[in-house]
Chain A
């Protein structure tokens, strides 16, 4: 057999893209294990279960008996809270909680998993293997999390019984995609800097960067995904002028396209930094130390 030539160096971008695709496919195949599928199913069902529980509780309060849920009634009535409150709850559950948890499981172990399985060494000796590993895992993590998040949004919105659900599903889906893109890149840094403590480090990053710095009304929160997502939620739901005055400092008044650009730019910078770090990281053979 004649040995086909690899893509020549002048096509190195294509070769990298092919390698990234190979890693993404491989990681997605790994994610299709029974345990991971079960976790994904839980991620899909969890927000819907919470919405159902809230409806049930509200119905009980409303009727005094806790019975006869009326699936056709608008959540505004059933929950005893307005549509904005239901949307806020869905936002907290899906683009925040479900996406965050999904990415902790899929993106954080990007390098640690390879080291633990002994496959890092196979990847590190391939041309562009390190970069392909990180970017491919990123693609797989984003895809997987988006699938889980969007399915969770569809199910939860219908279970919540919100009137005119499609626009809300659209908003939540957009936020899920941006949350996955931005936070997967954010978690890529601890994954390459502290691979063996990536999960702990990522939780710390999530808490400190996203949920502490993200709520500080100063320059520091401009570099967080949570600010952009909140601002997009406000913009896409048309709440700009409905937000209470004392809450306005928690969102950015810039237009939506700028928020989307900011998330994408942040993701690109974080990924570039993580890739550069991984490219020059060395993992010594532990049995020889």
Chain B
């Protein structure tokens, strides 16, 4: 459904996307990366806003840039907030649907259904300027979904939303991507770019991590965890004598690297964090050390992402 082959996008001498090769079929996918990682550029290539400088981008087997046949099958919800304050959700979504090639009457019906679907049936005719950020986000989502695209691309859809709004939006997106075959005979693909990892994780999506324009990891959350398990985990200890603690545990705990942060923190990297933790407690008793804080390696996706980022930057060994 979506194939990038050595896709590279340069803005002059600045690299937006660097040699990305990925093949995405139907289902839900998350694109993870910090701000400036190249997510939006990658989505720009996929949604036909940008042309690759090198390599190929194929969506439904064809290039998306300036290709109406491909674009009519894509729904895109950009990251930027809607600034059309005087327009109502109904007017906005109708406008977008008409731009997708629908007749005016059909566009009106589709817009109303989509807005009802995202829970804005009671606010159809309120100006966008009077709506909350969450409601404007839903309006954008309705605009992206209303023409029933085969590929729905969402850029930072959860950004700036309160927890309840995030939860609702996750539910909406999950519902869209899981539309049963009885309702729809064509497969759907959902691509969500975000730096809020737990929301993407709740989508049960395949994941791709992008950093510095490069795809640094891909797979399911479990696969990425397994990949990360091959890397040393960091244990951070704040105590009154970090150098004595390091000397006491480093020889026998499989510690691969040690670094000190200020006068009271030691960070140790190991592939056996359980064993290191045991050694730290024993050393604390034996050396009469006061341990103020011990932070184990973060096993959440957020932690994994952070470690991939550090690994890519050459901070982790």
Contacts and interface: CB of A to CB of B under 8 A. Distances in A.
Contacts of A95: none
Contacts of B80: 118, 121
Interface stretch (A126-134, A190-198, A228-236): A126-134
A288 B38 contact: yes
A238 interface: no
Contacts of A285: 40-41, 44
A88 interface: no
A117 B47 CA distance: 19
Contacts of B16: 284, 288-289
Contacts of B91: 26, 29
Contacts of A21: 98, 104
B89 interface: no
Interface residues of B, number: 47
A192 to B, nearest CB: 14
Nearest to A124: B49
A117 B49 contact: no
A284 B36 contact: no
A121 B154 CA distance: 12
A4 B81 CA distance: 29
B101 A15 contact: yes
Given A126-B96, A279-B66, A284-B16, A3 B110 contact: yes
Nearest to A129: B99
Q: Which of A3, A7, A9, A23 has the most CB of B within 10 A?
A: A3
Given A122-B143, A288-B16, A128 B98 contact: no
Interface string A135-161: 000000000000000000000000000
Given A117-B83, A119-B83, A123-B99, A4 B66 contact: no
A257 B281 CA distance: 97
Interface in B72-91: 72, 74, 76, 78, 80-84, 86-87, 91
A127 B122 CA distance: 30
A289 B86 CA distance: 31
Interface string B86-123: 11000100011011111110110110010000000000
Interface in A55-82: none
Nearest to B70: A127
B234 interface: no
Contacts, number: 116
B71 interface: yes
A1 B113 contact: yes
B56 to A, nearest CB: 17
A15 B11 CA distance: 33
B11 A284 contact: yes
A15 B91 CA distance: 19
B160 interface: no
Contacts of A284: 11, 16, 41, 44, 50
Nearest to A279: B66
Interface string A8-45: 01001001001101110010011001000000000000
22 contacts: A1-B113, A3-B110, A4-B102, A7-B103, A9-B68, A9-B69, A18-B101, A18-B103, A22-B95, A26-B95, A30-B86, A118-B83, A121-B49, A125-B76, A126-B100, A127-B100, A128-B101, A132-B99, A282-B51, A283-B49, A287-B35, A287-B36
A-B complex: 6 closest residue pairs judged by Cβ atoms? A127-B68, A22-B98, A15-B101, A118-B80, A126-B99, A6-B101
